[in-house]
Amino acid sequence: MPELPEVETVRQGLIKGILDKRISEVLIRREGLRYPFPEDLPTIAGHTVINIRRRAKYLLMDLDDGRVLLSHLGMSGRYTLFSSSEANAAAQPLLGTVNGGVPVSRFGERTGYGGKHDHLEFVFADGSRAIYTDPRRFGIIDLFANIEEPVHPLLESLGPEPFDAWNASMLARKLHRRKTSIKIAILDQKTVVGVGNIYACEALHRSGISPRTLAGSLVRKNGKPTLRLERLVGHVKDILNEAIASGGSTLNDFANVDGELGYFAHHFAVYGREDEPCLKEGCGGTVERITQSNRSTFLCPRCQR
Ligand SMILES: [Zn+2]
């Protein structure tokens, strides 16, 4: 599942690929994904993408008429970009059919699945295209006026972004007297957005904090953060920034080859490393896997307390 760094990487790739382009047509190949597509989706044709923002794991494309096209990659969504020459090189109609009429894209070899999961195809005035592919169809597409953004049901209750202005005092206020574990608390999008399962495990490991620690115990009685909580906030920022930086460089390599926007493989210190040695210098512990709220947590019981 794409986490915040992957979504930020996709945003940066979309900025390079489609910013300031005018949409001439959108090909819609099914009725929706997790929710039905908005009925007015075809009306984005004729409008220009003037900005591409990210809020938590939502991509927000600002159009020149004051509307916002929201997309969420769900479990398996991705965008693939094709230049006009690549699109023209297909040298045949770009909309084909299989299985008695199910429309597929002609980019199936590049987007995968024979093109059967290329649900949306954005055609730009310069002939380039952006294809949204999502085999598991948990993605979300929505379209709304930008003045509605603060009260949009998917966006209104999101917590702060885990970057610049976010700090340990803000987190302490959210965690004060919370009896839940710190791992579950930082996965809660009302506490802070975009710290998914992988990065929560990694940040807790780097901080030496057990994921089972009660969240409230990392806050002093007067509501101020403990040193351990200060450290955790620093490591959350570092780990997300490192992942974004490595995603960006991978993306550049990809783009040189075929303009594809993809995810990237990380080398994690604990995530997915059950029964392997802890990578923290001098620790000598062994990574364990436990379950918290039905999700896997990886930790080193020796250096995480
Ligand atoms: Zn360890």
Q: pLDDT digits over 56-81, tens only?
A: 999 999 999 999 999 999 988 889 89
- Which pLDDT value is given to residue 102? 60
How much of the chain, in percent, has pLDDT values that exceed 90? 67
Cα(208) to centroid(ligand 1), Å? 8
Whether 230 is a known active-site residue: answer no
Q: Give 204 Cα–ligand 1 centroid separation in angstroms.
A: 11
Q: How far is the CA of 7 from the centre of ligand 1 (A)?
A: 30
Instruction: Tell me if the domain spanning 4-151 has CATH number 3.20.190.10.
Output: yes
Range(s) for CATH 1.10.8.50 in the chain?
168-299
* Residue from 2, 103, 162, 211 carrying the catalytic annotation: 2
Predicted TM-score (pTM) of the model is 0.87
Q: Known catalytic residue: 57? A: yes
Q: Average of pLDDT values for 101-110?
A: 75
Distance 274 CA to ligand 1 centre (A): 12
Lowest mean pLDDT of 7-21, 101-115, 127-141, name the range. Answer: 101-115
Tell me how far the alpha carbon of residue 203 lies from the centroid of ligand 1, in angstroms. 13
> Can you tell me the mean pLDDT for 180-208?
95
Q: 237-291 pLDDT, tens per residue?
A: 999 998 888 775 554 443 333 344 434 455 789 998 999 999 999 999 999 999 9
pLDDT average, residue stretch 98-110: 69
Q: Give 267 Cα–ligand 1 centroid separation in angstroms.
A: 16
For residue 2, indicate whether it is catalytic: yes
Q: From the candidates 11, 57, 106, 231, which is the catalytic residue?
A: 57
Q: What is the pLDDT of residue 244?
A: 85
CATH of domain 168-299: 1.10.8.50
Catalytic residue among 3, 6, 8, 121: 3
Of 22, 295, 301, 302, the active-site residue reads 295
Rounded to whole angstroms, the Cα distance separating 58 from 152 reads: 12
| Both structure tokens of 259 | 């303009």
Question: How far is the C-alpha of 127 from the C-alpha of 83, rounded, in Å?
Answer: 7
On the question of pLDDT at 53 being above 90, the answer is: yes
Q: What stretch(es) of the chain map to CATH 3.20.190.10?
A: 4-151
